[in-house]
Amino acid sequence: MRRTISNSFARIFAVLLKELVQLRRDRLTFAMLIGVPIMQLVLFGYAINGDPKNLPTAVVALDPGPLVRAIVRAAENSGYFRVVEVGSDRQAEALIASGKVQFALVFPADFSRRLLRGETPSMVVYADATDPAATGSAVAALQALPQTALAHDLVGPLARLQGGAAPFAMVIHRRYNPEGITAFNVVPGLMGVILTMTLVMMTAMAMTRERERGTLENLLATPVRPFEMMAGKILPYVLIGYGQVLIVFVAAQALFSVPMEGSFALLSAMVLLFIVATLSVGFTFSTIARSQMQSMQMTMFYFLPNILLSGFMFPFRGMPGWAQTIGELLPLTHFLRIVRGIMLKGSTWADVWPEAAAIGAFIAVAGTVAMLRYRQTID
């Protein structure tokens, strides 16, 4: 009996050693097992922040008096605002529409005069509310300003303005999503997230499946050139990608009442650009992976920073500088800005072309790497 148990443990140990040796030889899988936990620790521990600070804020001070400067300084001291002065309401609204600033603070020309008379002048705030999570805490900090911003300035003869009602009022306009509906931000972003997750995986597995089944050699024996092979493999998934986007778009309109302020034709063109970028990544992975399992592992390794650093789940401006730099390299970051801009803000080509150019640059790099890797594979 003891000998039987001993032999059983010996066989289990032998299989254990065999699996460890096989794992050591499969360097890509071993790297994923170590890399994914490390990536999660770094991203969740250092990069994710649900309370963004230093949000770019345009200030239109038509009244440049000391009381206005005190209010602006108090806003800066809250830590939520990084002030940029502009000359007019129109400039401020253009900056908000382009996404270059998150807030605009507008002080009318008679602000100080009305305040000193004991009236209640209004300070107007425009907020880009496409992402409610990015503006919630900052708006709360602004709402506290009327009671606290001028506490050190209303002294002496001006002390009569303290102790009662707030010396000035604040009128907040939440642009593009006035009710703060989370679905307006999340549902359009799902277009990019779903395309990233599914198309990279399907494209990567398509080539590795050919290699595993031994049919890649048959394709190489045909007159098909590398570029033609790549195009033929990618085009079916372009149609699949459009089908997925159409499903999300119809659901956004029918179930969640997400507005469509911009051009559907422009949105379709930008979807095609992003699909090509996504498929180029999947094709690159297919030239590296040796099995379909490795293709899936690489897809998840690519998908994780995309969903965390693109601004889909957490405010982009809440991340530290190094995380924002990595996020700017990901095509999903730029596609989210494009699709939310077109659907919620009515953005035109003049507004989205910088983001489209960034995706185009990514396609050029990823496509070049894919072709070079593919040529090495067939050689």
**CATH code for 55-175?**
3.40.1710.10
Residues 330, 317: Cα–Cα separation, whole Å: 15
Closest CA to 208 of 91, 134, 302, 297: 297
* Residue 241: both structure tokens together: 């990608």
pLDDT of residue 213: 67
Q: What is the DSSP string of 89-146?
A: HHHHHHHHHHTS-SEEEEE-TTHHHHHHTT---EEEEEEE-SSHHHHHHHHHHHHTHH
CA 378 to chain centre: 36
Closest CA to 165 of 202, 120, 134: 120
Angle between helices 264-288 and 182-213 (to 10 degrees): 40
pLDDT in tens, the chain (379 residues): 666 767 777 777 777 777 667 666 666 666 667 777 787 787 777 777 878 889 999 999 888 888 889 889 989 988 899 999 888 888 988 899 888 899 999 999 988 888 888 788 889 999 998 888 888 888 888 888 888 877 776 666 666 666 667 788 888 999 998 888 889 999 999 999 999 988 888 888 877 776 666 666 566 666 666 667 767 777 888 888 999 999 999 999 999 999 999 999 999 999 999 999 998 898 888 888 777 777 888 888 888 889 989 989 888 888 888 999 999 999 999 999 999 999 999 999 999 999 999 999 999 998 888 777 766 555 5
Residues 266, 247: Cα–Cα separation, whole Å: 18
Closest CA to 281 of 243, 335, 319: 335
pLDDT of residue 159: 63
At 230, the amino acid letter reads M
Closest CA to 340 of 71, 170, 166, 132: 132
Which uninterrupted H or E stretch holds 20?
helix 2-25
Residues 371, 359: Cα–Cα separation, whole Å: 18
The widest CA-to-CA distance across the chain, in whole angstroms, is 101
| Domain ranges within the chain, ordered by starting residue | 55-175, 182-378
Contact 200, 285 (CB under 8 A): yes
Task: Give the per-residue SS3 of 197-234.
Answer: HHHHHHHHHHHHHHHHHCCHHHHHCCCCCHHHHHHHHH
pLDDT of residue 274: 95
